[in-house]
Structures are given as structure tokens and as C-alpha cells.
A and B are shown apart, each in its own frame.
Chain A
Amino acid sequence: MPISLSDALAVVADHRGDRIVIPTMGAISVWPQLSDAPSDFCYMPSSMGQGTALALGLALAQPQRGVIVLTGDGSLLMNLGSLVTIAQHPADLWVILLDNGQYEITGGQPVPGGGRTDYALIARGAGLPRVYHFEDADTWRQSAGEVFRGTGPVFVWLRLCPRQGQQTPKPPRPMAEQIDRLRRELGVEPRAKS
């Protein structure tokens, strides 16, 4: 059975443990229905493609927590080099690639190489040691225990059913509140007021 975005993220929610989860773009339309933990950071407003970079920084700053970033294929294509950086600076980071082959929230236009790009090969070539690829929901669910066991970095490529008619999702709370909430959870001093 092909993987829907909801099914893909439900598996992540079941296995995330106390890791920080960073949904980006389309994942933000689903993740808050599955989780509202202080260690959720819905990265919006965002800079498209920066989810993996931000997640690496967070994983390096909080090595005891572990970080999961939920990124789309369009976003990852904007920052493919970040996979090389992640491989060069090992951390407990899980990159979950939600590949629907399209720019979902702008009307479903195809991404370059949609359906043809081998992201597992790219991730391995970047030097990532643990790479997984799933195209059906049952196998993803059955394998998730292994995927989330052990240490990162880990790259998971999920081929999803495309959705139509999606609009830009809204994060569950304003960015300033999200940041303060996350930092309290992590025991980090609040931000200086700007």
C-alpha cells in the first residue's frame, strides 16, 4: 500500500521517543494532529531548504536528545549539500525525506527529477552510514523500530502519495512561542528580547 503523509508521520510519532521533531512545509499540516509536545518545532515561517541545516545545529547543540527532521523533496533539493555536512559532523539526527514528487503547497508542480531521483544513492554518496528506503506503508511501519534504534545520522526516504489542493499550513503557535517552549523544554535560557 502506498504511503500517505498521515501514515508516514504516524509511524514517526509512535517511535520518536523524547527526540526533538522538526516538521517543515507540508508536514506541518499533519504533525500537530499527532503531537503537541514542547519538543516539537514546526519550522514555519521558514527559509525553504534549511530544515536539515537547522536540525543538524540543534542535534549538535543537544547531543543527548536526538533530532528528527521531516523534510520534503523540494526542500532537500534546495540544500542537498547539507547531507554531506551531516555526514561530516555525526550527530543523532534522523532525516526523514517525504518524497511526493511535487511542490505541494504551491499547487502540485513537479520537482526536478520527480520520480526519477535516487535519494538513497545520494545519501549514501554523501557519506551517510544508515540509509533506508520505503515505498509501502506496511514495510515502513514494520521497519521503524530498527530505523529509530541506535544512533544517527540516519536517512529515511519515504515515497509518498501526492496530495492535491494543499495550501500553506499554519504552525500550531507563533514562532516566538514555539522557540520559548522548545528552549524551556531543553533547559536553555530564554532569548534576549529584540
Chain B
Amino acid sequence: MTGPELLAGLRRLGFTHVVYLPDSETGRWDQDLAAAGSPRLIRPTREGEAIGIAAGLMLGGAKPLVVLQCTGLFESGDALRNVVHDLKLPLVLVVGVRGYLAFRQGQSQDTCPAFTEPILQAWRLPYHLLQPAFTRESWEQALESIVTSGKAGAVLLPE
């Protein structure tokens, strides 16, 4: 999925801000996100902070999307717990799952893919795991289903 395709989808779904820490896959979107102006790109210093910023944006009536890697998901646990379960805000995450494809093929000892789904389940956060060769349409459908639910959720990008 190209940056322009990503932006078109985010605009169609009404996202106003992208709170973003890149990984090697989603990093390809950086220049397009930075140049877009709308949705506005916010660059936090770590993932827990990203979720806090998104909470404030939602309280103020904006509609943010948080993009991070699974390692950052692990880091951000308490922020996620607070925003989703204490504040009950409809946080939407896109999570890049580092090493997912190699892990599935038994070619990686990286433990990130082993823990991503169990962590989300532990935090009671619904998620959609996209197929490795996901299309723009499947990505948008997954995001849209979370947005229209009015509840928090995540889309996992296999990497």
C-alpha cells in the first residue's frame, strides 16, 4: 500500500491526526504523512506517550489513528489500559507485527510475533490480523469496522 493510498483511506474514514512511530514497514509512509497536512502527523517520543496524546485528541473531539510497532505496543500497556478501560475512549491502533512472516515459517527466533496477539487479548482489545499480502481494500475494511463500532480496536499488519 502506497502513502497516497493510505492517506486517501484515512481521509475517507475521517481521521484528523496520525500519531506515529515508524517501523521498517510503516516507515515507508513517513514522507507522505509528513507532507499531507491532513490528517495531521504527530511524532511522539514513545508509544505510551502516543496513546496519551491520542486520548487528549479524542477528548477534544478529534479522531486520531495511532501507528506503532508491536514492540511499542508492549511498552505502552498501562497507557492503553487507562485509555481503553478507564476512559473508555475508542482508541484505534495500527500495529506492525515485526518478523511475523519469518516467525510463521520457522525462520526467526524473534519473540515479537509470539506475544502480540496474546498481549492484545490480555488487554481485551479487539483486533483484525491482516493476511500477509493484504490489499488496500482489506486494510480499509478492517479499519472501518473498528471505526464504525465506536469502540477501541487494532489492525495488525504482518511484516
Contacts and interface: CB of A to CB of B under 8 A. Distances in A.
Interface string B99-116: 000000000000000000
A48 B82 CA distance: 10
B150 to A, nearest CB: 3
Given A84-B45, A192-B150, A50 B61 contact: no
A53 B56 contact: yes
Chain B contact-residue range equals 35 or more
A61 B43 contact: no
Chain A contact-residue range equals 35 or more
B56 A56 contact: yes
Nearest to B76: A47
B43 A57 contact: no
B79 A61 contact: no
A153 to B, nearest CB: 14
B79 A47 contact: yes
Which of B44, B90, B150, B151 has the most CB atoms of chain A within a 10 A radius of its CB? B44
Contacts of B17: 60
B129 interface: no
A58 B57 contact: yes
B61 A186 contact: yes
B17 to A, nearest CB: 7
A85 B44 contact: yes
A192 B52 contact: no
Interface string B33-65: 000000010111110111111111111111010
Given A50-B49, A192-B90, A194-B151, A60 B78 contact: no
The 5 lowest CB-CB distance pairs between A and B, nearest first, are A57-B56, A61-B60, A53-B52, A81-B45, A192-B150
21 contacts: A41-B59, A47-B52, A47-B81, A47-B83, A50-B51, A50-B52, A52-B52, A57-B59, A57-B60, A57-B62, A58-B59, A59-B60, A60-B42, A61-B62, A62-B61, A82-B44, A82-B45, A85-B44, A88-B43, A89-B43, A187-B61
